[in-house]
Structure formats: structure tokens, C-alpha cells
Amino acid sequence: MAKKKLNKNWLHDHINDPYVKLAQKEGYRARAAYKLKEIDEDEKLIKPGQVIVDLGCTPGSWAQYTRRKLAGKDGGGIDGTLIGLDMLEMEPIADFHFIQGDFREARVLRQLEVVLQGRKADLVLSDMAPNLSGIATADAARMEHLIDLAIEFSQLHLKTSGCLLVKCFNGMGYSQIVEKFRAEFKVVTQKKPKASRDKSSEIFLLGRGVKHPVENKPAHDETPLDI
């Protein structure tokens, strides 16, 4: 009974959420677009000509926002390269290179290398989050693992002057995640956009400047990378 009431309350809040209404009006697939929009406007992350990689990009609202930022005023094409990776399917977005699969696998990395053409990314975005179990220790470990993957990906594919923006949760394990960011990036900023619900412990970490870049080797087989 309590769960049913909780679901009903969530649905009521969701329907009346101003960002949900705005997303529907402006054609975004999710209200999450406004979290990135606010952080971008504050930090000046997205600029014409950039190579941007979006990890866990489904359903695509961050991809929609980045595409609009790089689109020409005449509406034809974009100035830059947008790449998204996700294990889930995603409806196509114009000028957005979507690669379905696990970015730890050689097959997926080969596809990424084809699009990158030897270039490094200016910006890596990650709105990835685990399926929460309600068990604090387990959820914290899953979140930390996803952020470890985003950091490792950035060490391989991000320019040394580039930025990594990740979602995490302010709670158990958060201080360790911040310390990891500080160990791997020259400047670390914590962001809590207004579009993030007040009740949510969601917070975003922005790392600028890779301290320990790793030379990425071409993927030659189908074997998942050892992480």
C-alpha cells in the first residue's frame, strides 16, 4: 500500500514538474537536458568544433542538447563530432554517432576508433547511474564502479586539456569518489543544478585537465578488456 502511494506521489510530482513540461514543449526526450544545459552555461563546456563523447547516452536528451549547441544557425549539420555509447538502444538523432554496446569491449572500441579517426575528445559526458537496490553499501559500490569506468575511459580518450562530467550521488562513498577525481584531474568542481530535484542526492562532478593520460592501443579482438 505504501509503495502504491509512493508511486502515485512520484507520478503527481513528475506530471507537475516544470522541467518535465519544458522538456515536452522544447522537444527534449527527458528533463535531464536542463541539468546539462545549466552546467554548460555556467562552465562554458560545449563549444563549436569539439569532439564530445556521451557515455550511457540513452534516451538521448544530453545528445539532443549537445547537438543543438553545435548546430549551425542555418539548421544544416553541426560544427563538431558527437558520439554516444550505450548498451541500450536509442532512437536516432541527426549528426549523432550512436554505438550500441559495452565500451569496455574491443568490438565497440573499434567502432569508436573509426569515428574518432585518431582524435581525442574535448569533453566526455556521463549520466550513467546503476539500478539502485536500496542497500547503501551495494549502491555506493556500483556508483563508484561506473565512475571508475568513466575516469578510465577519459584517461584513454580525452585530451589532456579536456573535461569529464559525471553524475554521482552525495552519500556513502561520495567523498572517496571526489578524492579519485582530485587525484586524476587538475581542477575538480561539484555542481548541483536547479533542474536536479531537491529531494535527490544527485550531484555532478566536473574534472578539468587529465593528470595521468594513458596511451590507448587499437582494439584487435572481441575479448572484453580486463578492468
Q: Is 62 annotated as a binding residue?
A: yes
From the centroid of its chain, how far is CA 97? 15
* Separation CA 8–CA 172 (nearest Å): 28
Which stretches of 27-85 are DSSP H helices?
33-43, 61-70
Place of cell 554505438: 99
* Separation CA 12–CA 192 (nearest Å): 23
Q: Is 127 annotated as a binding residue?
A: yes
Active-site position among 167, 180, 191, 192: 167
46 by Cβ neighbours in 10 Å (0-12 / 13-18 / 19+) ranks as buried
DSSP annotation of 120 = P
167 as an active site residue: the answer is: yes
* Separation CA 65–CA 34 (nearest Å): 8
Q: Is 17 annotated as a binding residue?
A: no
CB 116 within 8 A of CB 85: no
From the centroid of its chain, how far is CA 224? 21
Binding site, residues? 60, 62, 86, 102, 127
The residues that are catalytic are 167
Binding site for S-adenosyl-L-methionine, residues? 60, 62, 86, 102, 127
